[in-house]
C-alpha cells in the first residue's frame, strides 16, 4: 500500500453517543460505514473484524488505543468494547481518572468534542473506478476498503488528523462560520471550565491556529472565501491574545 499509517476523520456518524460522567464511561463511533470520505474511500462493514479479533479489547493481546488527537502521549481511556454494527465502528471506553481523562469528560459534556478519527493501515482495498472517472463522479468513490489494521481511535478537539495542524483537511470552500463557532466554543469552555492548565493551553493553541488560518485566507488571493467581517476576526485575535496573557 502507498501509506503504512493513515488517518481518517468522519463527521457523518463518528461522534459521541453517550457519556456517563460519574462512571467515566463514554460510547461513540470511531468510524462510519459505506459513505465516500474526502479521500474517495468507502470503508465497508467487516473491515475491522480481523483487527478487533486479533487486538481488540476482548482479544488475548489488546493493543488498540483510545487517544486524544492521535497523540500516543495523550491516552484517554481503556477500551471496554469495540464492535461493528450496521452504522460503523462502535466503541465503549472507560475514561481514566488522570487529569486529561477528567478534562475529556468535561469537554464532551460541554459539546466541545464531537468528532472522532482512526489511525490505521489499509490491508485490503479495491479500486472502484479510475482517478479520471472519480474526478468526474466523486460520489461513487475511488477505493473500497475491506480490511484494515486498526492502531487507535481518537477523539478530536479540532478538525483533521494532526493535532499540530488541525485545519489541514479543510478545503478552500470551507465554512468560515463553522470554524469561528468552534473557536467561540473553545473560548467559552476555557472561560468557564475548571479543566487543567495543560488542557486549556492545548485548546488555546488550536484556536490560535484556526485564527491564523482565517487570517491567511483573508489575505490570500481568494477574498470571496471569507464571509466574516474583518472587525470580528480582529476581535477574536485580541480576545485570545488576552487569554494567553492571563
Q: Look at residue 227 in the predicted model and tell me its pLDDT.
A: 40
Question: pTM for this one?
Answer: 0.70
Most confident by average pLDDT, 57-61, 71-75, 222-226: 57-61
User: Nearest 5°: phi and psi at 152?
Assistant: -165, 155
Mean pLDDT of the chain: 78
User: What CA–CA distance (Å, rounded) separates 240 from 215?
Assistant: 14
The set of cell numbers assigned to 35 is 459513505
Q: Look at residue 204 in the predicted model and tell me its pLDDT.
A: 80
pLDDT tier at 80 (50, 70, 90 boundaries)? very high
Strand partners, 84: 89
Lowest mean per-residue pLDDT among 62-71, 113-122, 157-166: 157-166
DSSP β-ladder status, 115-127 and 143-156: antiparallel
Lowest mean per-residue pLDDT among 49-53, 217-221, 235-239: 235-239
- Residues 74 and 68: beta-carbon distance below 8 Å: yes
Beta strands (DSSP E) in the chain are 6-10, 16-20, 25-32, 41-43, 65-68, 71-84, 88-95, 115-127, 143-156
Rounded to 5°, the CA angle 115-120-121 comes to 150
Lowest mean per-residue pLDDT among 11-25, 43-57, 125-139: 11-25
Q: Which residue, chain included where needed, has cell 481488540?
A: 56
Closest CA to 28 of 100, 97, 79: 79
The set of cell numbers assigned to 107 is 469537554
More reliable by pLDDT, 227 or 99: 99
The set of cell numbers assigned to 202 is 492545548
- Residues 220 and 182: beta-carbon distance below 8 Å: no
Domain borders along the chain are 6-156, 176-245
More reliable by pLDDT, 8 or 53: 53
Amino acid at each position: 500500500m502507498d501509506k503504512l499509517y493513515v488517518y481518517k476523520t468522519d463527521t457523518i456518524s463518528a461522534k459521541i453517543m453517550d457519556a456517563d460522567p460519574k462512571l467515566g464511561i463514554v460510547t461513540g463511533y470511531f468510524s462510519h460505514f459505506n459513505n465516500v470520505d474526502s479521500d474517495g474511500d468507502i470503508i465497508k462493514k467487516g473491515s475491522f473484524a480481523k483487527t478487533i479479533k486479533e487486538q481488540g479489547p476482548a482479544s488475548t493481546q489488546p493493543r488498540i488505543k483510545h487517544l486524544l488527537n492521535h497523540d500516543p502521549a495523550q491516552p484517554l481511556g481503556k477500551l471496554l468494547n469495540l464492535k461493528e454494527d450496521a452504522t460503523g465502528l462502535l466503541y465503549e471506553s472507560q475514561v481514566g481518572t488522570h487529569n486529561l481523562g477528567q478534562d475529556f469528560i468535561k469537554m464532551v459534556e460541554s459539546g466541545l468534542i464531537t468528532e472522532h478519527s482512526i489511525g490505521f493501515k489499509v490491508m485490503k482495498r479495491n479500486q472502484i473506478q479510475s482517478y479520471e472517472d472519480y474526478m468526474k463522479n466523486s460520489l461513487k468513490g475511488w477505493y473500497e476498503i475491506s480490511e484494515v489494521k486498526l492502531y487507535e481511535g481518537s477523539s478530536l478537539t479540532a478538525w483533521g488528523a494532526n493535532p499540530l495542524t488541525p485545519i489541514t483537511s479543510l478545503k478552500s470552500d470551507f465554512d468560515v462560520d463553522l470554524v469561528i463557532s468552534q473557536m467561540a466554543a473553545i473560548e467559552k469552555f476555557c472561560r468557564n471550565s475548571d479543566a487543567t492548565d495543560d488542557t486549556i493551553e492545548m485548546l488555546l493553541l488550536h484556536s490560535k491556529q484556526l485564527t491564523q488560518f482565517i487570517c491567511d485566507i483573508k489575505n490570500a488571493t481568494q477574498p470571496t472565501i471569507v464571509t466574516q467581517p474583518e472587525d470580528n476576526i480582529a476581535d477574536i485575535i485580541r480576545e485570545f491574545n488576552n487569554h494567553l496573557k492571563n
